[in-house]
Structure formats: structure tokens, C-alpha cells
Amino acid sequence: MTSVCLYFEVHQPMRLNRFSVFHIGNESNHSEYFNRKLNEEIFTKVAKKCYLPTNNLLLELIRETDGQFQISFSLTGTFVEYCEQFMPEVLDSFKELFKTGAVDMIEETYYHSLSSLFDELDEFEEQVKMHRFMIQRLFNYEPHVFRNTEAIYDNRIAKKVAEMGYNGIITEGTEKILQWRSPNYLYSPVNTDIKILLRNYTLSDDVGFRFSARQWPGYPLTADKYAQWMARVEGDLINLFMDYETFGEHQWTETGIFDFLRHLPDEILKHDHLDFVTVSTAVERYNVVGDIDVPWAISWADEDRDVSTWLGNDMQIACFNELKNIGRKLKEKSDPSLINTWRRLQTSDHLYYCSTKGLADGDVHAYFSPYDGPYDGFINYMNVLQDLKQKI
């Protein structure tokens, strides 16, 4: 038996207002850092194009297959805050999915932050606990599997996550750590006892990035073709991890992405040796086949599959160091309102917008960025950080 593990990241960042150097120190309220109007517009648009129609379709598919179709989600805290502020029905639709028993929830950092890369992991642990409390409040459930922001992972992070009581952790199935081995099995870190689920990035990106690419040899990708590809895969587990916004937002309805999803469960279940599992079931069902040593951080982002997406140039490193320094001062001051603002500014997207990578990676960064370019993003973000620094 080979199991298909389908997992979606559901996240929306809190985008910033334009903040010039002349605003620094002008007694502006720190809540004004965030562009509420733009954030509401984007969230509402994506909710109508992706979250609501995809959730409705998944609910139908789970019921039609009597729960054989199973999926997993990680919902960031910023995403949930948007739901509660602007469209509670989106959150209600996730609750309906969870009630089916065919849906699993995954833990992560509340603010989708880079706190796991801080020198000390206290802030990381606090944000994970915040996320845990949120999931318990919303779903009366405690996740067993952890997925760090953008699947950032190394030995140090794995050890910390294991100490916090999780049974599994998700990261990228890159050749950097696997070499000749397959991502379609469970592994464990060299320094602790936790199971690692590795993303099959080729099959995941066939849907997430290449689905509508007419120049791609696999185009058009149909559900039966995709199922046949998976039927030929050797291994215990095919981890298909992607952004939830793939459906209806990154890949528009006109591409046929919803028709593809509608037929996918039936086409996969036609193969007797294939089934669906949640991440928790995968960790319970399968044994590890070896260990993996990851002394430096990897992720699922860009071609490099490392953290250069957020820390690849001097601008990003300067902002990251400023974030850490501000945090140390804030923790001494113990101002809950300012700490909340600081944590919202930790969201990895702010550093993502400052990336100066070119070629295909640069195109993806530009697609998501609300700025004219990375330097514009850097100046705006650093101005906000300097104003927050003056407030403390």
C-alpha cells in the first residue's frame, strides 16, 4: 500500500501601510503600520475565489467517498484573525470539514514567523503555544504533527519540536538532505526521536506551479494522468504539500484546477494499492527507514530550498537583526500591545518581499509582493521597524 498525504498551507500576511522616513517618531499609533483596507480587500477576494469554493468542494468529495478522501491543513494565526474580522463563514467552513473526521490540523508558529531561526528558541516556543491554544479553541483538538513556517527545518528545530511533544515534523524532500534516497518514506533526525514527513516536491509543484504552464511537457494535467503517475511511485507515502491558494487564486478557475480536484479522489482510489491519509495517520501507520542529518536550515522555498528566500541579502539580514534586537528590548518592557505588533512584523512575508533573487524565483517573489520592488519593500519595512524601536 502507498498512501497519498495531501496537505495545504493556509496563510495570509498582514501587509504594511506606506511608511516614509518622515513618519518615524511622529507619535503614530503602531496599529497604523498595517494596511487594513488592502488586507481586507485581498483576503475577501481570495476567500471568494479559493477558500469558500474549495472548502465546499472538499466537503462534497469527503462525503462522496465516505471519508476515504483525507486531507490536512495548517491555518496560520494571521489567517484566522482575518477570518474572524472579515468573513467568519470561511472559518465555519473549515470547522465543517474538520467535523467529518477526514481532516487533520497541523501545528505551526502563530505568526508564520522566522522565530525558529532566532539565537534562542523561547520566542519560537511561545508562538507555537499560541497556535496550539488557537487550534484547541477553534477545533477542540491538539495537533500531533508540526510544520514550521515554509517547512524550515534543521536538527536544532527538530529536537526542539520533539521536546514539545510532537510525533511528526514536515519539511522538504530535497536532494540536499536525501542524496540518493526517496522522499516517499518516513525518516528521523540524527539527534532526536520524531518522524519526518518529506514533501515530494516534483509531484507537488506539478499542481502548485506547473498546472497551467502550456510549455510544460506534462500539460494538460488531468486527474487520471496524475493518479497514474502516483500509482507508479515506489514507497510508503507520497506527500503532496502546497499552498491552498493554488485552487482558484494562483491557478484560476479557467485553468480547470477545480475540475482536476473534483476528479482526483476517484482517480486515485481506482488504484487498489493507493489510499489517502492525514499527516497524523501517516506518522502512526509507517515506520522510519533511516535517519537524516540536517545541520543547516532547509525550506520548501525557491530553487535553493534553503532560507536565502528571507535571509539572502544584506537588506534582509539587517531587518532580521533589527527584529531580534527590538524583541530583546520589548521582552524587558513587557508591553503586550507592542509585543503583538512586533510579532506581526515577524511574519516571514515581510522579508520575502525584500528578496533580490532573479529568474523564476524573482518572478514568484514579484507576484506576491505589494511593492514596486525589493528595495521599496526594504525601505518601507525598515522605516516601520525604526519607528517601533523609538516607541520602546
Specify the DSSP class assigned to residue 18. P
- Residue listed under C-alpha cell 521597524: 385
Helices 88-99, 52-64: axis angle to 10 degrees equals 20
C-alpha cell belonging to residue 216:
510544460
Beta bridge partners, 189, equal: 292
| SS3 letters across 230-265 | HHCCCCCEEEEEEEHHHECCCECHHHCHHHHHHHHH
Amino acid at 143: P
Question: What is the number of residues in the chain?
Answer: 392
Among the listed residues 150, 245, 249, 267, the single catalytic one is 150
Q: If residue 285 lies in a helix (H) or strand (E), which one and from where to where?
A: helix 279-285
The answer to whether 150 is a known catalytic residue is yes
Tell which residue, 150, 224, 161, has the closest CA to residue 188: 161
Sign of CA dihedral 285, 286, 287, 291: negative
The CA-atom distances, in angstroms, between 319 and each of 51, 153, 185, 310, 354 are 32, 21, 38, 10, 10
Angle at 208 between CA 207 and CA 212, to 5 degrees: 65
C-alpha cell belonging to residue 125:
516556543
The CA-atom distances, in angstroms, between 165 and each of 91, 140, 160, 381 are 27, 18, 9, 35
Tell which residue, 276, 224, 269, 313, has the closest CA to residue 104: 276
- Residue listed under C-alpha cell 497556535: 131
Report the distance separating Cα 246 and Cα 242, nearest Å.
Answer: 7
Residue pair 378/350 in contact (Cβ under 8 Å)? The answer is no
Sign of CA dihedral 42, 12, 143, 146: positive
C-alpha cell belonging to residue 154:
534543521
CA 206 to chain centre: 18
Return the active site residues.
150
